[in-house]
Amino acid sequence: MRRISRITVAGAATASLALALAACGSTSTSGSSDSKGNKGLAIAYDVGGKGDQSFNDAAYAGLEQAQKEFGYETADLEPTEGETDADKEQRLVSLAKQGYNPVIGVGYAYAAAVKGAAEKFPKTTFGIVDDATINSKNVADLVFSEEQASYLAGVAAAKSTKSNVVGFVGGVDIPLIHKFQAGFQQGVKDTNPKVKVLSQYLTQTAEEGGFASPDKGKTAAEGQIEKKADVVYAAAGLSGQGVIEAAAAKKVWAIGVDSDQYKHAALAKYKDSILTSAMKDVAKAVYNLAKSVEDGKPETGIVRGDLKTGEVSLSDSNPKFADDAELQEAIKTAKEKIISGEIKVKSS
């Protein structure tokens, strides 16, 4: 195992530096390259960046696992406000040029950038999380059946509500988040048709802060709670923290997203209000791509995680959720029917 030390790189003063490894907010773990002269895994974060207690942090967990197991140098870079596709592509190109392999763009917003960078560096494996539009020999499209976990979240909400009103808060009004909404609504209605689902999107575009504004999430959740919602499900990245805060303040249930938010330190004071989380294992997808490159058999094409593979699921960290036998039986039955194909979950 190579000796490893962590360094933090900050203080970029120019645009070119911001796009290089020394970018403001980026970090790297230094170590020697492998026998082929390659460095290890590098990731470029989506809106909200590291510390979102959700999507981006899950990607970082995958990077940490790869770094620990393979003992190589890694890098992770933050987004910059108002950046263009060209800026994103230059960030990925910079990483590939330095020898990082694989290089992963975290989020659908990297689609054009990953496509462009992959064409420039055909011997580097690239990955993109939450996009299935890139058809390239050296790109892995890491996607998930979020609607399936959201269906189970809908079952949990319908079984837990006392007011027969539940809420859904989406970060941005885009097809990806429509999958969360569609699955959730279907799970609620299949479980109890009498339950009303209130739905709201925070913004029309990511640039307006739909995934990065806890204040917007909090306001939306408060509005739904005023309309009697006593379970609120957020698919809104960092904005979901505001939804959870509002639910805790009003003593109703929140359902988290992407990772097990009950366990997140930043949300510890609200955890008793987090019923469960609809998870997708971004960490596993990121790690698996790194391992495939390390093994000399890089993943490419569409790589999908679903209930059957175990890469989407509901968390059961909250004892009140885990110990509810009737609720757990309903979720187990729904999961089995989805995996068998008896229940076909809508994605829009």
User: What confidence score (pLDDT) does residue 38 get?
Assistant: 67
Q: Do both 113 and 189 map to the same domain?
A: no
State residue 21's pLDDT score: 36
CA angle 121, 125, 130 (to 5 degrees): 115
One-character DSSP codes across 244-289: HHHHHHTT-EEEEEES-GGG-GGGGGGGGGEEEEEEE-HHHHHHHH
Find all residues with CB under 8 Å of 91, minimum gap 6, and list them. Answer: 19, 23, 44, 77, 113
Domain boundary among 144, 179, 199: 144
Query: Both 191 and 324 in a single domain?
Result: yes
| Structure tokens, 160 | 């837990």
Number of neighbours of residue 306 by Cβ within 10 angstroms: 20
* C-alpha to C-alpha distance for 296 and 273, rounded to whole angstroms: 45
Report the pLDDT value the prediction gives residue 229, as an integer from 0 to 100.
98
Residue 118 three-state SS: helix
pLDDT at 87: 95
Is 134 found in the same domain as 173?
Answer: no
The low-confidence residues of the chain, meaning pLDDT below 50, are 1-25, 30, 34-35
pLDDT for 184-224, tens place per residue?
A: 999 999 999 999 999 999 999 988 999 989 999 999 999 99
pLDDT computed for residue 7 by the predictor: 27
Domain assignment present for residue 311? The answer is no
- The number of CA neighbours under 13 Å toward the Cβ of 191 is 31
Neighbours of 175 (CB within 10 A): 10
In a shared domain, residues 111 and 219: no
Chosen domain end from 144, 161, 185: 144
The 10 Å CB-count burial string (b at 16+, else e) for 90-103 is bbbbbbbebbbbbb
Output the pLDDT for position 127.
98
CATH number of the structural domain spanning residue 65? 3.40.50.2300
Q: Are residues 93 and 127 in the same domain?
A: yes
Which structural domain, as residue segments, surrounds residue 187?
A: 146-280+318-340
Residue 21 within any structural domain of the chain = no
Domain final residue, candidates 84, 117, 144: 144
**The pLDDT of residue 4:** 30
Between CA 331 and CA 308 the distance in angstroms is 14
Instruction: Kindly report, residue by residue over 235-259, the tens digit of the pLDDT.
Output: 999 999 999 999 999 999 999 999 8
Under DSSP, the state recorded for 169 is E
